[in-house]
Amino acid sequence: MGVDNRTAFLHSKRMASHGELRLIGENYDPGFIGMMKEDDGYGSSDDFEGALGNDQDTADNGRPPKKKKKFHRHNPHQIHELESFFKECPHPDEKQRRELSRRLALESKQIKFWFQNRRTQMKTQLERHENVFLKQENDKLRAENDLLRQAIASAICNNCGVPAVPDEISYEPSQLMIENSRLKDELNRARALTNKFLGRHLSSSSANPSPSPSQGLNSNVEVVVRRTGFCGLNNGSISLPMGFEFGHGATMPLMNPSFAYEMPYDKSALVDVALAAMDELIKMAQMGNPLWIKGFGDGMETLNLEEYKRTFSSFIGMKPSGFTTEATRETAMVPLRGLALVDTLMDANRWAEMFPCMISRAVTIDVLSSGKGVTRDKALQLMEAEFQVLSPLVPIRQIQFIRFCKQHSDSVWAIVDVSINLSNAANALMFANCRRLPSGCVIQDMDNKYSKVTWVEHSEYDESTVHHLFRPLLSSGFGFGAQRWIATLRRQYSSLAQLMSPDIHGEDINTVGKKSMLKLAQRMAYNFSAGIGASSVNKWDKLNVGNVGEDVRVMTRKNVNDPGEPLGIVLSAATSVWMPITQQTLFGFLRNERMRNQWDILSSGRPMQAMFSVAKGPGQGNCVSILRGAAVNGSDTNMLILQETWSDACGALIVYAPVDASSIRVVMNGGDSSHVALLPSGFAILPGVQTDGPSMQPDIDENTSDGCILTVGFQILVNSVPTAKLTVESVETVNHLLTCTVEKIKAALSVTQLGSVE
């Protein structure tokens, strides 16, 4: 569909919507549009005819103007009653107006003009939203046309090898429409060829995703042309980008075709949902008691569900049967400017990199509005993400949602997410385990180069899919709640500030080498998290073997051409157990290189020593280290261990991988780390939670004894030949290693009555 045709279609849709104003008004909620000014006619019922008469009388020669009518302001009770009636009937008849006049002590004319003004305001607001989207549709069509035009201009003839430059294309509207139609035909033929030879369907959204503001209009489209008597275009085939760039260079696979948006969706409806979600987020962030109940002492805030139901109406449907609610709120000071955080949150790749242990996959599917300039005000985009807790016993939450950013003042932004389901019955299982109610953050710039961030997380999920060991953790909000988002945000920005510091602490390594080593450690931690949570980024096949316990997840995949890990068949095994000791005690033991020989098979019973470490933030445990086994009988080893550790109020991580000494030496000298083969293993620690009372707190200090949850994960190369068959003996060997490691940790810490997950 060309520019003019598509614009005409949207314009006709807008006119049709005006004809259905009555139906819209019957379900209208003023919270969807936002609070309106009282002096817009919404809180008053002045007479339009009288006002017009005054202007006419004033224009007459020498005649004094009539005395203006006294302006009447309705009281809150009258406005509330009028609004309630407007929701039910935006066009009252004469009898209904008389009844309202009698009940509210207003004249019938006042009732009449109030409803006229109210309908006019709603109609104006709808037109404003639709005009914005019409302009965006026109801009996107022009951008698409320019993109295809650039690709054709750089086309090369297959036969003669010279540039195939078509005639100059006019930018007149009629010529644009014809050219756009022709280019779309070329693209459709390319999709047909792709579907035929690759066995997959490429939708327009995945083949040519709308560029985000940070990405620009950078084309990856290549056009191949054939000579037919002259260097022109004939049945050109188009090579399309087959994935999204993800973070540090890894490629994000295309969505499953079931998630692609082949069907149209009502963008104006998404705007209404976004506005309502923003309104709810602001109120959730600002309101106190009785909506939020403070725990004892410095306890967490708990959402009063009854008060929430009285205050807010559900605009994404009723709560599914059997679902449990989790809602948390947390406020903290973060060392960065608000706009920098806004840019990070509105970019799917940077957002996933900022929260690597919480987000296993994130992608922007469509940009409905790019917002106003650098402030990103009124930016609206459609996204999909996978949220995870580092344990095989907690299923990944795959959620489709819209993300809306609004700048409320020069120094205040708010970003809200809310789940949507555009797939209807075709994908009824998409939100089978979770849906996200209005969640997000309010960001306020402070004078000291810090930002005050208030984070709200509100979800409903199927608790029956979660192992009972993790149910208290998730219901308290420490699995996916605001406290974990804030703790991760503060730790990551502290790490970034440390990295940007002119003197990064470390020995015998320059600044470039330190940054290269940190990048390698980032990839190691990311691959470890993806293996624990079974993210769709890495295609793992789950194995069911008779001798493996039900609380152990064993998966496998083949690496054929990725230089970042050894080639062959990789096995991943992970489990979670309860440890009746504090998070800090367990973390201190596992990161201590002098005690490593008590549990690590790679140490061969020898003590380990740290060659050097690079600090990633405040605290002794937040660092990246290179470990080396002590020499035995004068013999040295060529195998080193790369290790990253960190701990905060919501958990801890110890990830390590054996690396070749020559490879790590290249990295330390500032070389490329992407070709260093890694298979990470390690531990994730989550705090214990007290469930007896409203002040559910994480167990991270030394004075409590409730314990913590330890997740152990290994990734091991069992065969260097990718085409080899996996044997049961290999699976049992990895499972035995997992079990022995847990038992050695128990024995070293003198932990009794531990067992596996009960």
The residue whose two tokens read 């003009």 is 113
| SS3 of 405-473 | EEEEECCEEEEEEEECCCCHHHHCCCCCCEEECCEEEEEEECCCCCEEEEEEEEEEEEHHHCCCCCHHH
pLDDT of residue 133 exceeding 50: yes
416 half-sphere exposure, CB direction, 13 A CA radius: 28
271 and 384 fall within a common domain? yes
Separation CA 700–CA 335 (nearest Å): 24
Name the 3-class secondary structure at 508: coil
Other C-beta atoms closer than 10 Å to the C-beta of 78 total 20
- Quote the pLDDT of residue 172: 60
Residue 79 placed within a domain: no
pLDDT of residue 741 exceeding 60: yes
Residue 426 placed within a domain: no
Name the 3-class secondary structure at 570: strand
> What is the mean predicted confidence (pLDDT) over 41-63?
44
Q: Which two tokens stand for residue 727?
A: 């044997």
Q: Residue 661, exposed/middle/buried by CB under 10 A (0-12, 13-18, 19+)?
A: middle
476 and 516 fall within a common domain? no
The residue whose two tokens read 């079974």 is 534
Between these two residues, 338 and 215, which has the higher pLDDT value?
Answer: 338
From the CA atom positions of the chain, what is the Rg in Å?
31
What CATH number corresponds to the domain at position 406?
A: 3.30.530.20
- Positive or negative, the CA dihedral 536, 538, 541, 545 is negative
382 bridge partner residues: 366, 402
391 and 526 fall within a common domain? no
Separation CA 593–CA 598 (nearest Å): 10
pLDDT of residue 236 exceeding 80: no
Nearest to 261 by CA among 383, 362, 378, 345: 383
> What is the mean predicted confidence (pLDDT) over 205-223?
36
516 and 487 fall within a common domain? no
Give tens-digit pLDDT for 442-486: 999 987 788 999 999 999 999 888 888 888 888 887 889 999 999
252 bridge partner residues: 244
Length of the chain: 758
**Which CA distances in Å does 111 have to 90, 121, 387?**
12, 16, 51
Considering 443, 472, 500, which residue would you say is the last residue of a domain?
500
Considering 500, 519, 551, which residue would you say is the last residue of a domain?
500
538 and 394 fall within a common domain? no
Give tens-digit pLDDT for 265-297: 677 888 889 999 999 999 999 998 889 988 765
Give tens-digit pLDDT for 20-38: 333 333 443 433 333 333 3
Separation CA 127–CA 121 (nearest Å): 10
- Quote the pLDDT of residue 684: 95
The residue whose two tokens read 């060829």 is 193
pLDDT of residue 47 exceeding 90: no
Nearest to 486 by CA among 623, 651, 314, 723: 651
Nearest to 316 by CA among 434, 415, 429: 434
Name the 3-class secondary structure at 351: helix
pLDDT of residue 9 exceeding 80: no
pLDDT of residue 6 exceeding 60: no
530 and 411 fall within a common domain? no
> What is the mean predicted confidence (pLDDT) over 428-432?
50
The residue whose two tokens read 């314009």 is 11
Q: Within its chain, how far is the Cα of 583 from the centroid?
A: 28
Q: Within its chain, how far is the Cα of 256 from the centroid?
A: 18
Separation CA 630–CA 589 (nearest Å): 19
In this prediction, residue 379 has a pLDDT band, given cuts at 50, 70 and 90, of very high
DSSP H or E stretch at residue 123: helix 108-153
Give tens-digit pLDDT for 402-422: 999 999 998 999 999 999 876
Residue 19 placed within a domain: no
- Quote the pLDDT of residue 155: 64
pLDDT of residue 723 exceeding 50: yes
pLDDT of residue 581 exceeding 60: yes
- Quote the pLDDT of residue 423: 59
> What is the mean predicted confidence (pLDDT) over 164-168?
50
> For the ranges 76-90, 98-112, 510-524, 616-630, which has the lowest average pLDDT?
616-630
Other C-beta atoms closer than 10 Å to the C-beta of 322 total 10
Q: What is the percent of the chain where pLDDT is above 70?
A: 68
340 and 477 fall within a common domain? yes
Residue 169 per-residue DSSP state: P
> What is the mean predicted confidence (pLDDT) over 133-148?
79
Q: Where in the sequence is the domain holding 558, given as residue range(s)?
A: 511-690+705-755
Mean pLDDT of the chain: 74
- Quote the pLDDT of residue 704: 40
Residue 120 placed within a domain: yes
pLDDT of residue 574 exceeding 90: yes
Q: Residue 361, exposed/middle/buried by CB under 10 A (0-12, 13-18, 19+)?
A: buried
In this prediction, residue 222 has a pLDDT band, given cuts at 50, 70 and 90, of very low
- Quote the pLDDT of residue 58: 43
Domain count, the chain: 3
- Quote the pLDDT of residue 674: 85
- Quote the pLDDT of residue 492: 86
Give tens-digit pLDDT for 671-685: 888 888 899 999 999
- Quote the pLDDT of residue 229: 35
Between these two residues, 499 and 367, which has the higher pLDDT value?
Answer: 367
Residue 145 placed within a domain: no
pLDDT of residue 665 exceeding 70: yes
> What is the mean predicted confidence (pLDDT) over 693-697?
44
Q: Which two tokens stand for residue 372?
A: 């106003």
- Positive or negative, the CA dihedral 612, 616, 617, 623 is negative
> What is the mean predicted confidence (pLDDT) over 292-312?
83
Evaluate the omega torsion of the peptide bond into residue 163 and state whether it is cis, within 30 degrees of 0: no
pLDDT of residue 298 exceeding 70: no
Name the 3-class secondary structure at 23: helix
- Quote the pLDDT of residue 586: 93
Phi and psi at residue 350, to the nearest 5°: -65, -35
Separation CA 432–CA 477 (nearest Å): 20
- Quote the pLDDT of residue 318: 83
539 and 402 fall within a common domain? no
Do 369 and 132 touch, CB atoms closer than 8 A? yes
Separation CA 758–CA 756 (nearest Å): 6
384 and 414 fall within a common domain? yes
> What is the mean predicted confidence (pLDDT) over 322-335?
90
- Quote the pLDDT of residue 250: 36
Question: In 199-266, which ranges are continuous DSSP H helix?
Answer: 204-207
Q: Give, in degrees to the nearest 5, the angle at Cα 107 between 105 and 111.
A: 100
Burial 463-493 (b: 16+ CB within 10 A, else e): beebeebbbbbbbbbbbbbbbbbbbbbbbbb
320 and 375 fall within a common domain? yes
Q: How far apart are the first and last CA of the chain?
A: 60
481 and 518 fall within a common domain? no
Between these two residues, 172 and 209, which has the higher pLDDT value?
Answer: 172
- Positive or negative, the CA dihedral 492, 495, 496, 497 is positive
Indicate the Cα dihedral angle 746, 748, 752, 757, nearest 10°: -10
522 and 496 fall within a common domain? no
Residue 155 placed within a domain: no
Residue 291 placed within a domain: yes
- Quote the pLDDT of residue 754: 42
Residue 295 placed within a domain: yes
Considering 457, 474, 500, which residue would you say is the last residue of a domain?
500
